[in-house]
């Protein structure tokens, strides 16, 4: 289950709550992957330079929301105001490989990154998937420029990197502020149709729908029905369309489309095609806008998808587990084994992570698989971690094997407990006694805070 968000945030800071945006209150099964594409993230030069060195506020915000729920930031890519983030559940990490990111500038003749596209591609259980977040040129009259820019982005992503082009992936998701407008109809007819919930009257004059009928490279892209209000342009913190002097005509600028390669190839074969040959299918379960978010003049749009995969990869490259009981009282041992074809490297490492870790560099400590090896046989190897590096307070942790050659986590252990050390337990008991003795004096100040 994949939940995809596109939102032009208009340089605003994150809102206080994204529960409904991420469908965190949904009664159904939880999502396996979140893909979040933002446009117009605050990209003033000072912000951009500091964001290159550190995670930007939006990345930190989504990590803070999703990491306690068992998702880690798999990858991200930023180009000025364009940001693409992917979060996945721990369980899928060993089956995601070949992660690469890319960006293409199209603003100011390709020299400026205020417009363009950013992509993250990967192999998921052996199937190639590409996610592409775009911000295309604005204004009613620039339809051709939008189409030209998208074609250019498709051609330039991963060019010269020995990686398939976006259209050669098994599944391509294309989304963002695509800036297509509603042609021909006047503002009064458009607003009246919206007020009467008669969105279907506007579909045939939507520039993207029109282009899909005439442009060969767009015909294979699919989109859910636009059964929500056009998502642009609103007065801030309201669901009222633009009341400024410009009075922009409402439009479905914010879109999510997808393309399944096998279906495209087999469509022409007709009779030869059978269901059994289809190893991956994409089902759109929900395509909606979220009117309650008012921090920008665009409303966010989400698509919830079911990806049905016939796994081409079903075993992790590395299996690993903690050996014996772990605590900071003594050095600890990790046992692991790799499949014969695994391309190991002297730079591979095993990290100890809290179960709520945010991303691959969010480890508590790590061991080099070669330098810290203590035993090896044909079935498995053992690596040690120093007692000094183990958290004394204990808790629930995971071990992850990071492959330098593959630039990703290729093995993950089951969650396990690290026992608190005796000194830590005694210290906590002492603090507990002290706090119990002090409690009557502090009760009032606690209530005030």
Is residue 297 domain-resident? Answer: yes
Instruction: Let me know how many helices (H) and strands (E) the chain has, helices first.
Output: 8, 21
Cα dihedral value 399, 404, 65, 102, nearest 10: -160
Indicate if 274 and 418 belong to the same structural domain.
no
Ordered DSSP codes for 357-398: --BTT--SEEEETTTTEEEE-SS-EEEEE-GGGS-TT-EEEE
Is residue 445 domain-resident? Answer: no
Say what the pLDDT of residue 434 is. Answer: 45
Is the distance from CB of 405 to CB of 345 less than 8 angstroms?
yes
Is residue 444 domain-resident? Answer: no
Indicate if 152 and 243 belong to the same structural domain.
yes
**CA atoms within 13 Å, Cβ hemisphere of 239:** 11
For residue 12, the 8-state DSSP code is P
Which structural domain range is residue 354 located in? 318-431
Indicate if 269 and 330 belong to the same structural domain.
no
Is residue 383 domain-resident? Answer: yes
Indicate if 276 and 323 belong to the same structural domain.
no
Across the strands, what pairs with 8? 39
Indicate if 352 and 424 belong to the same structural domain.
yes
Indicate if 65 and 211 belong to the same structural domain.
yes
Indicate if 368 and 303 belong to the same structural domain.
no
d(CA 8, CA 11): 8
Say what the pLDDT of residue 377 is. Answer: 93
d(CA 253, CA 136): 10
Across the strands, what pairs with 413? none
d(CA 366, CA 390): 10
Is the distance from CB of 173 to CB of 258 less than 8 angstroms?
yes
**Parallel/antiparallel/unpaired status of strands 2-8 and 33-39:** parallel
Looking at 43-109, list the stretches that DSSP marks H as alpha helix, in order from N- to C-terminal side.
45-53, 57-66
Indicate if 267 and 337 belong to the same structural domain.
no
Is residue 251 domain-resident? Answer: yes
Distance of CA 36 to the CA centre of its chain: 5
Is residue 441 domain-resident? Answer: no
Among residues 309, 344, 360, the one where a domain terminates is 309
Say what the pLDDT of residue 113 is. Answer: 54
Is residue 436 domain-resident? Answer: no
364, with CB counted inside 10 A (0-12, 13-18, 19+), is: middle
Crossing angle for the helix pair 207-214 and 143-156, to the nearest 10 degrees: 60
d(CA 11, CA 368): 41
Say what the pLDDT of residue 53 is. Answer: 53
Domains in the chain, number: 2
What SS3 state is found at 142? helix
In sequence order, what are the residues at sequence separation of 6 or more whose Cβ sits closer than 8 angstroms to the Cβ of residue 231? 251, 252, 253, 254, 289, 298, 299, 300, 301
d(CA 401, CA 411): 5
d(CA 43, CA 342): 41
The residue behind tokens 């009760």 is 443
Indicate if 291 and 342 belong to the same structural domain.
no
Indicate if 327 and 301 belong to the same structural domain.
no
pTM summary value:
0.89
Say what the pLDDT of residue 272 is. Answer: 46
Indicate if 418 and 288 belong to the same structural domain.
no
Say what the pLDDT of residue 443 is. Answer: 31
pLDDT values of the chain reduced to their tens digit, one per residue, 449 residues: 999 999 999 999 999 999 999 999 888 889 999 999 999 998 665 555 555 556 789 999 999 999 999 999 999 999 989 999 999 999 999 999 999 999 998 866 545 557 999 999 999 999 999 999 999 999 999 999 999 999 999 999 888 788 999 999 999 999 999 999 999 999 999 999 999 999 999 999 999 999 999 999 999 999 999 999 999 999 999 999 999 998 999 999 999 999 999 776 555 444 444 444 678 999 999 999 999 999 999 999 999 999 999 999 889 999 999 999 999 999 999 999 999 999 999 999 999 999 999 999 999 999 999 999 999 998 999 999 999 999 999 999 999 999 999 999 999 999 999 999 887 655 554 554 444 444 333 333 333 33
Provide the CATH number for the domain around residue 348: 2.60.40.2840
Tokens representing residue 267 in the block: 């469509």
Say what the pLDDT of residue 279 is. Answer: 86
For residue 448, the 8-state DSSP code is H
Is residue 448 domain-resident? Answer: no
* Strand (E) or helix (H) holding 6: strand 2-8
Indicate if 167 and 200 belong to the same structural domain.
yes
b/e string for 239-275 if b means 16 or more Cβ within 10 A?
eebbeeeeebbbbbbbbbbbbbbbbeeeeeeeeeeee
Say what the pLDDT of residue 449 is. Answer: 34
Provide the CATH number for the domain around residue 273: 3.60.10.10
Other residues' Cβ atoms within 10 Å of the Cβ of residue 330? 13
């Amino acid at each position: 289950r994949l939940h995809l968000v596109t939102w032009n945030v208009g340089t605003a800071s994150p809102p206080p709550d994204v529960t409904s945006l991420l469908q965190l209150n949904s009664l159904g099964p939880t999502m396996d992957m979140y893909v979040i594409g933002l446009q117009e993230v605050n990209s003033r030069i000072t912000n951009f330079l500091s964001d290159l060195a550190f995670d930007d506020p939006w990345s930190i915000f989504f990590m803070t929301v999703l990491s306690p729920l068992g998702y880690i930031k798999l990858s991200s890519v930023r180009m000025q105001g364009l940001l693409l983030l992917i979060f996945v559940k721990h369980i899928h990490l060993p089956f995601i490989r070949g992660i690469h990111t890319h960006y293409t500038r199209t603003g100011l003749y390709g020299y400026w990154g205020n417009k363009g596209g950013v992509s993250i591609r990967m192999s998921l259980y052996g199937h190639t998937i590409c996610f592409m977040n775009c911000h295309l040129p604005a204004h009613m009259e620039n339809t051709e420029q939008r189409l030209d820019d998208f074609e250019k982005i498709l051609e330039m992503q991963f060019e010269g990197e020995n990686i398939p082009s976006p259209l050669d992936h098994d599944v391509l998701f294309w989304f963002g502020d695509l800036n297509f407008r509603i042609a021909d109809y006047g503002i009064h007819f458009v607003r009246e149709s919206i007020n009467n919930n008669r969105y279907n009257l506007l579909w045939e004059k939507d520039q993207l729908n029109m282009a899909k009928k005439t442009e060969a490279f767009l015909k294979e892209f699919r989109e859910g029905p636009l059964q929500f209000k056009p998502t642009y342009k609103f007065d801030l913190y309201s669901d009222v369309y633009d009341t400024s002097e410009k009075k922009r005509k409402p439009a479905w600028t914010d879109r999510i489309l997808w393309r399944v390669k096998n279906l495209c190839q087999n469509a022409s074969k007709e009779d030869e095609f059978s269901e059994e040959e289809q190893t991956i299918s994409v089902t759109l379960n929900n395509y909606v806008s979220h009117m309650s978010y008012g921090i920008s003049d665009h409303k966010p749009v989400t698509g919830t998808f079911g990806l049905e995969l016939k796994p081409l990869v079903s075993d992790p490259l590395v299996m690993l587990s903690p050996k014996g009981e772990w605590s900071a009282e003594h050095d600890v041992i990790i046992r692991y084994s790799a499949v014969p074809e695994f391309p190991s490297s002297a730079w591979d490492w095993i990290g100890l992570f809290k179960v709520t870790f945010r991303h691959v560099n969010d480890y508590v400590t790590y061991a080099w698989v070669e330098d810290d090896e203590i035993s090896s046989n044909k079935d498995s190897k053992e690596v040690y971690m120093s007692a000094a590096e183990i958290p004394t307070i204990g808790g629930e942790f995971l071990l992850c094997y990071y492959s330098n050659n593959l630039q990703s986590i290729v093995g993950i252990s089951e969650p396990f407990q690290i026992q608190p050390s005796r000194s830590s337990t005694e210290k906590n008991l002492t603090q507990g006694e002290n706090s119990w003795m002090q409690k009557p004096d502090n009760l009032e100040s606690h209530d005030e805070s």
